[in-house]
Amino acid sequence: MEGGRLVRLIGCVKNYDWGRLGKESRVARLYACNSGDYHVVDQDKPYAEFWMGSHDSGPSYVVQGGGENGNKLTLKEWIENKPSVLGDKVVNKWGTNLPFLFKVLSVAKALSIQAHPDKDLASRLHSELPDVYKDDNHKPEMALALTEFEALCGFISLEELKLIVQTVPEIVAVVGTAHAEQVLELNKDGGKEKDKLVLQSVFTELMSASKDVVAEVIAKLISRLCIKNQERELTEKEQLVLRLEKQYPADVGVLAAFLLNYVKLNPGEALYLGANEPHAYIYGDCVECMATSDNVVRAGLTPKHRDVKTLCSMLTYRQGFPKILQGTAVNPHVMRYIPPFDEFEVDRCILPEQSTAEFPSNPGPSVFMVVEGEGTVTISSNEIIREGDVFFAPANTSITVSTSSGLHLYRTGVNSRFFEE
């Protein structure tokens, strides 16, 4: 088991067009530090995601003997050669694949309005369209803010939906007055199923509208908001809609934003997203963790493949503001974020000067990532760690991290609750 030692990893970078440019991007900085190649960053290129895991779309590599790249093994291959590093319980449930995928995101402009399929839908989509849906796994995920972080997530409450129908004539112009009347006739006691059906029909009608209709209506919306802006201060949602329209002109996602909750996270706050929940990240840096999957069903704010029919039919149409996770202290320097999914949990460790944190041994594997500062990690011997370092810790490995100058690191592992069951 590598003598219980840590294994250094080289991660993978993704240059999606919504990422931050060049050295402005935390992802680019981490990638340059992680790969040891500081000339690798192109100032004119967006650096959106830094991946750490075993997914085929962005594999991590194991640094062998002193870091030469002569014999590069992917983390997936390395685990397959010695599955004991995952621990018996993990292998019994997920086989020899790492069950979680760890990422850092640097978001300059909005990502698509999207949702991730549950396991059954993922299997079906993967078999029907393997080029679009790359695997057959579900993708519950959690975003943990590194900076102030903005997102759209889940549908607004019934009260807010009624207000939107009354105050945003452009939505009514697309979905029709009959749908608008249905929304206004809903009452709190009418039953959740009826609310869902009406919301689903309104959202589906909106997302399915023709490009010409959408373009015309958005033009009216923008000119109306510009006039309103001279009379009064625009609401946060109205201001957001103007921002989104600049990024994605004439895109139906600009209108859809009115129907979704606008969430702002402070550093250290997290949001988890179950299967079939609509969301779109808007701005900021976050650590993201998910089940090992890259399945995304998109329908707005994107130049990529859209699958409106699938998205509108798969959503839960649950309404109300999402729960914000604050984390639970496991020791003075470590907060733990435990979502309701077996595949992962995340620890956020912020060590001030001259301090130490213990990570007790765990029956499953962990991946650690240093985001800022430098320090020492100890198992059997001491090793210097600094910004950009990523390492894999086998199951049943206890770790001590200390720093003289300050250190900020994250650990992801299989959900502790999974081992307690």
Answer yes or no: 298 catalytic.
Answer: yes
Annotated catalytic residue, options 29, 298, 306, 336: 298
What distance in Å separates the CA atoms of residue 193 and residue 195, rounded to the nearest whole number?
5
Which DSSP symbol is given to 19? B
With residue 58 as reference, give the H or E element that holds it. none
Instruction: Kindly report the backbone phi and psi dihedral angles of residue 183, in degrees, each rounded to the nearest multiple of 5, phi listed first.
Output: -65, -45
Which of 43, 80, 39 lies closest to 62, judged by CA?
Answer: 80
Which of 10, 55, 61 lies closest to 294, judged by CA?
Answer: 55
* 203, 279, 300 from 208: Cα distances, Å: 8, 18, 11
Residue 341 makes CB contacts below 8 A (sequence gap 6+) with 140, 272, 274, 291, 415
What distance in Å separates the CA atoms of residue 79 and residue 92, rounded to the nearest whole number?
14
Residue 24 makes CB contacts below 8 A (sequence gap 6+) with none
What distance in Å separates the CA atoms of residue 318 and residue 303, rounded to the nearest whole number?
27
With residue 391 as reference, give the H or E element that holds it. strand 390-393
Residue 179 counted as an annotated binding residue: no
Residue 70 makes CB contacts below 8 A (sequence gap 6+) with none
Residue 247 counted as an annotated binding residue: no
Residue 114 counted as an annotated binding residue: yes
Residue 200 makes CB contacts below 8 A (sequence gap 6+) with 312, 315, 317
Q: What is the DSSP secondary-structure string of 104-161?
A: EEEESSPPPEEE---HHHHHHHHHH-TTTS--S----EEEEESS-EEEEEEEPPHHHH
What distance in Å separates the CA atoms of residue 210 and residue 199, rounded to the nearest whole number?
19
What distance in Å separates the CA atoms of residue 358 and residue 44, rounded to the nearest whole number?
41
Q: In which residue are the tokens 């200390």 written? A: 402
Gap between the terminal Cα atoms of the chain: 25
Residue 408 counted as an annotated binding residue: no
Which of 319, 112, 301 lies closest to 218, judged by CA?
Answer: 301
Binding residues: 114, 116, 141, 279
Binding residues for Zn(2+): 114, 116, 141, 279
Residue positions annotated with a catalytic role: 298
